[in-house]
Amino acid sequence: MRAIAFVCALGIVALATGPTAAQEAGPTRLKDVVSLQGSAGTPLIGYGLVVGLNKTGDRQQTIFAARTLANMLERFGVSVPAAQLMIYNVASVFVTTEVPPFARAGARLDATASSIGDARSLQGGTLLPTPLRGPDGEVRALAQGPLSLGGFGGGSASNNVQVNHLTVGRVPAGAIVQVGTDGHPQSLDTLTFTLNDPDYLSAGHVARAINEELGGAAAKAVDSATVTVHVPTEYKNSIPDLVARLQPLSVDVDAIARVVINERTGTVVVGGAVRIGPAAVAHGNLSVRITTRLDVSQPLPYSKGETTVVPNERVDVAEGHNQLVTLAQGTTLEAVVAALNALGATPRDIIAIMQALKAAGALRAELVII
């Protein structure tokens, strides 16, 4: 039986009564399932140069790297036409990061530098000071420092070794916040929590947990993604204390039955809440193998003949003898895995089987293809 690489992620299910998968797996903290409305982070982006590479930078056809370097040198009093620059130790990159809510000037953030030219590697490079701008175009942070790739490479273009991705690197604590983000006013009447995964059942559980903690009916589920909390009188001028009290609360959240498929990598992730309706599955395995052998005909010496090469091809066709597997109503994830293992299915086979079950109406889950 062929081995099967099957990734299983248990979904968290919470019902009103009776033991549930969520209760067996343990409750979830409120801070892990909701976010405070109005406290979202701000993405930043900038354009910069990475220098100090070992002849693995942008080539001459990447003209913007040479022009950027020429402009920078001119600011230091060195005037060199961009067309005359022959550089291989410089790479142009986009630098990105995200400013968290309530960040103050001087805070340090991790930044990511991604090559936008034809550089082969950013290994050993240093990011020059790069202004990072927000959606409004204003400079919010400055990034600089040595890159950490988490991999390495060596050799020439025809004979080289590479481990991990070498054209994207991180600058740990390399971005310095220049303009802080505004916080909440000192006094608020209502706090609004937004669920990371909108669900009416989960929203009800969040509101119930908050009411049990504060007493009364302070919290109310507005919709599947929003829970409002009336700020008690004693917390009118100390909103952070109220948020700190609510964040560690244990809540039961409900997860959507979902199957996630990545066809590029052959990865299949099936949630524990997935159920299968009545279905019969048979997955044939047709393989075609073509082999070519070159027969060389060499003429005798001085016979004025020509050497000829005659290709000899052989085609073999084989079909697997997989059996028909029946899946009963309400079949659980474990039964599905056992049945697919019995078929000798590979991850690629499972992708096709899951899509066919969904088309047949037997897959009781959302099918997500990424």
Check whether 185 has a pLDDT greater than 80.
no
Domain count, the chain: 3
Q: What is the CATH number of the domain that holds 209?
A: 3.90.1150
Question: H-helix or E-strand containing 152?
Answer: strand 152-155
Same domain (yes/no): 62, 154: yes
Same domain (yes/no): 281, 216: no
Q: Tell me, yes or no, whether 21 lies in a domain.
A: no
CA gap 61, 105 in Å, rounded: 39
Q: Tell me, yes or no, whether 92 lies in a domain.
A: yes
Same domain (yes/no): 151, 50: yes
Check whether 20 has a pLDDT greater than 50.
no
Same domain (yes/no): 78, 168: yes
Convert the pLDDT of each residue in 225-242 to its tens digit.
Answer: 899 999 988 888 888 888
Domain boundary among 151, 177, 203: 177
* Interior/surface letters 94-122, b for 16+ CB within 10 angstroms, e for the rest: ebbbbbeeebeeebebebbbebbbebbbb
Please state the length of the chain: 370
Same domain (yes/no): 234, 219: yes
Residues 6+ apart with CB under 8 A from 242: 191, 229, 231, 232, 235
Same domain (yes/no): 210, 121: no
Same domain (yes/no): 106, 155: yes
Same domain (yes/no): 33, 63: no
At residue 174, φ and ψ (nearest 5 deg) are -95, -15
User: At 258, is the pLDDT very low, low, confident or very high (cuts 50, 70, 90)?
Assistant: confident
Weakest mean pLDDT among 11-20, 91-100, 174-183: 11-20
Question: Percentage of the chain with pLDDT > 70?
Answer: 69
Same domain (yes/no): 117, 128: yes
Task: Share the mean pLDDT of the chain.
Answer: 76
Q: Tell me, yes or no, whether 17 lies in a domain.
A: no
Same domain (yes/no): 227, 334: no
Domain with 218, as residue range(s), is: 28-39+186-251
Residues 6+ apart with CB under 8 A from 233: none
What is the per-residue pLDDT for 9?
31
Domain boundary among 226, 251, 276: 251
For the segment 2-18, the average pLDDT, to the nearest whole number, is 32
Convert the pLDDT of each residue in 116-154 to its tens digit.
Answer: 888 888 888 999 999 999 988 899 999 999 998 876 666
Domain boundary among 177, 206, 230: 177
pTM exceeding 0.85: no
Partners of 111 in beta bridges: 171
Same domain (yes/no): 269, 231: no
